[in-house]
Amino acid sequence: MRVLVTGAAGRLGSAVLEALEGHEVRTLVGDARDPAAVRKALHQVDAVIHTAALASPEVAAPEVVFATNTQATFVVLNEAGQAGVRRAVVASSLSITGLPFARSRPQLPYLPLDTGTPLQIEDPYALSKQVDEATAAMMHRRHGMTVAALRFPFLGDPARLAARAAMLAENPAAGAADLWSYLDLRDAARACVLALTAPLSGAPVIYVAAPDTLMTAPTEDLLAEHHPGVPCRTALPGRTVAIDLEPARRLLGFTAEEPRP
């Protein structure tokens, strides 16, 4: 396949480039918000993996984070649809729940987390991801293109994940908002590549994460302390992450393979 990767210089984008070995890869030179630059990059492209984004509400002014992310996603997907691309993958985020960057203390209605969990957004980054997923659904209806949105947790290479694990060991409360979840960048990139060829349709939204947490304490003990009173719909033995990963296995054939740091 000829695959366009946006955000190729970023943490996830660079991992995606490595995972696409065997495919013809193109990268976007220029701004993902620029239709002309995107149109040029899409020449004879079969699929798109869109990772370009400002990755936190804290890296720029709120209006810049929101506008940059949503405009880039709209332009990339609209130009891809007009170019006849039939498959695209968009990097969404667990932050769409609203919890990781919330100023208040929103409470989850139930666990494990799934795509039916109501969003409680308070920040521009999470809002941009909500709009990105709505844009993906609109582009499917507009162009007939399948667009998979993958909701990623904290991503990192082994060193970054090890540092995160050490920090959470000292302060477990710091990981409560994202349920102490994580994913090795190599697994995240592999999930993106699988989403290019999996038998998908429409604009599916899929949580992708490691099956365990970054903690050594049992998940149910952590939840009892940091999410008291939240009902669990399924048992979470050992260090099982409190996210429903069954759709990732069923729709993508994806299970994380890289070892816990």
Options 3.40.1620.10, 3.30.420.300, 3.30.365.10, 3.40.50.720; CATH for 2-252 is 3.40.50.720
List beta partners, residue 4: 26, 48
What does the domain layout of the chain look like in residue ranges?
Answer: 2-252
Q: How confident is the model at residue 167 (pLDDT cuts 50, 70, 90)?
A: very high
pTM: predicted TM-score of the whole model, two decimal places:
0.96
pLDDT of 223-249, one tens digit each?
999 999 999 999 999 999 999 999 999
pLDDT of 19-76, one tens digit each?
999 999 999 988 999 999 999 999 999 999 999 999 999 999 999 999 999 999 999 9
- Note the Cα 224 to chain centre separation in Å: 27
**Euclidean distance between CA atoms 30 and 68, whole angstroms:** 14
Return the closest-CA partner of residue 188 out of 152, 138, 144, 242: 152
Q: Are 120 and 102 in contact (CB under 8 A)?
A: yes
For 74, half-sphere exposure in the C-beta direction (CA atoms, 13 angstrom radius) is 11
| Chain mean pLDDT for the chain | 97
Q: What is the DSSP letter of 240?
A: B
Task: Answer whether the bond into residue 247 is a cis peptide, omega within 30°.
Answer: no
Q: What is the DSSP letter of 252?
A: I
**Euclidean distance between CA atoms 32 and 52, whole angstroms:** 7
On the 0-12 / 13-18 / 19+ scale of CB atoms within 10 A, 31 is middle
**Euclidean distance between CA atoms 137 and 144, whole angstroms:** 10
**Euclidean distance between CA atoms 123 and 113, whole angstroms:** 19
Q: Which pairing describes strands 183-184 and 205-207: parallel, antiparallel, or unpaired?
A: unpaired
